[in-house]
Amino acid sequence: MARIELESLQKEFGETVAVNDISLSVPDGEFLVLVGPSGCGKSTLLRTISGLESQTSGDISIGDERVTNVEPKDRGVAMVFQDYALYPHMTARRNMTFGLDSHVSMSDDEIEQAVQDVGETLGIGDLLNRTPDALSGGEKQRVAMGRALLREPDVFLLDEPLSNLDAKLRDQMRAELTQLHERIGTTTIYVTHDQTEAMTLGDRVAVMNDGEIEQVESPQVLYDEPASRFVAEFIGSPQMNFLPVDVEGRSRPTVATLQGHLTSPFPTTNDMPFTAPENAVLGFAQRTSILHKRLRMTPSLVRSR
């Protein structure tokens, strides 16, 4: 079991609070995406889970073990970085196996077979004797994935692994990552600032803002029921349109009435227990219904702040 539990995790760099009191539970086998604007703390959160950064306070558990003070190499995690972090003078094969003997107990022959198998799985079986300068961006990315896979980790931590690839290859690798995850089922946390990537890859998506998680939900729920205006603005393309409304907070379903000239009440898709109805706006997500070939507007109530 490789459930990940974060309890009140905090990471500060001097005055900067990069991770602010985050508690999060990632079930075994989940593909969780961390998404948010540049500087919101995604990479720092990932690096703190991996042990590359030490937390200021709080606790991290992986599986049944509290790993807060455990060395990175002993946490059962494998990390893939944006720049792939390959050794330039080593072949793809050597990059994948370097340091492997301290992670798995396999003979040299078994390691050789495992490298070949992982190489075939990732479509780089015949490129293993090349050095990184003779590999394309996508091939280097596969070598980095292969290195992580060989370690048979309990948890994959991926930090924007596709961001250096062109759009077409990124689409292809995204589909391959989904297939790979369906096959091996390893608990994965994936960092991106690209909401399309987040919405297509994640079982759940955690939207981060200023060191905090604003909402963690399935892509569909995030889209239909954003818990804050920040989430509503960040998720969805085209972006939601917003209108100020008055809310009858206690009715079920929640009914919002447009302020100004219009007075039509809108039954909303979500039923939020609003304690401060004056802080509400109605967000209109635009969706094209393929069946009816027309634009459908889905009103959902959003906290405005």
Q: Which residues bind ligand ATP (CB under 6 A)?
A: 13, 16, 18, 36, 38-44, 193
Instruction: For ligand ATP, give the closer residue by CB, 65 or 210.
Output: 210
Nearer to ligand ATP by Cβ, of 82 and 228: the residue is: 82
Residues 6+ apart with CB under 8 A from 192: 33, 34, 35, 42, 160, 162, 163, 198, 201
Q: Which is nearer to ligand ATP, 20 or 270 (CB)?
A: 20
How far apart, in whole angstroms, are the C-alpha atoms of residue 77 and residue 172?
25
Q: How far is the CB of 16 from ligand ATP (least distance, A)?
A: 5
Quick one: 13 or 87, whose CB is closer to ligand ATP?
Answer: 13
Distance separating alpha carbons of residues 297 and 281, to the nearest angstrom? 15
Closer to ligand ATP by Cβ: residue 128 or 222: 222
Between 8 and 251, CB nearer to ligand ATP = 8
CB 31, min distance to ligand ATP, A: 19
Dihedral sign (CA 259, 265, 270, 272): positive
How near is the Cβ of 90 to ligand ATP at its closest, in Å? Answer: 27
Cβ-based neighbours of 240, under 8 Å, separated by 6 or more: 226, 232, 233, 283, 284, 285, 286, 302
**What CA–CA distance (Å, rounded) separates 73 from 271?**
45
Residue 129, token pair as written in the block: 């004797």
Please report how close the Cβ of residue 202 comes to ligand ATP at its closest, in angstroms: 16
Give the nearer residue to ligand ATP in terms of CB position, either 52 or 106: 52
Q: Which 3 state secondary structure label does DSSP give 305?
A: coil
In angstroms, what is the minimal distance from the CB of 72 to ligand ATP?
16
CB of 132 to ligand ATP, least distance (A): 22
| Nearest partner of 18 among 49, 50, 43, judged by Cα | 43
Say how many residues make up the chain.
305
- The number of C-alpha atoms within 13 Å of 277 and in the hemisphere containing its C-beta is 15
CB 34, min distance to ligand ATP, A: 8
